[in-house]
Amino acid sequence: IYSMTPGERTNPAVLNGSRRTRIAKGSGTSIQEVNNLLKRFEFMRIVGGKD
């Protein structure tokens, strides 16, 4: 999360492949882990919006 810019945290849809690679390198994780985080984040946005 801290390897993302404020704009990327606000709108994760802008995260293309090169941005995901940069985030993975900056956070010491794999691109797959970044993708999993983004999927969970989107799920929580959807679930949280229905309450």
* Residues sharing a CB contact under 8 Å with residue 34, sequence separation 6 or more, in sequence order: 20, 23, 24, 27
Q: Which pLDDT score, from 0 to 100, does residue 26 have? A: 95
pLDDT at 30: 97
Domain ranges of the chain: 6-49
Q: What is the pLDDT of residue 2?
A: 86
Residue 25's pLDDT is 96
1-51 tens-digit pLDDT: 889 999 998 888 899 999 999 999 999 999 999 999 999 988 988 898 755
Q: Give the pLDDT of residue 49.
A: 74
Q: Distance (Å, rounded) from C-alpha 48 to C-alpha 32?
A: 24
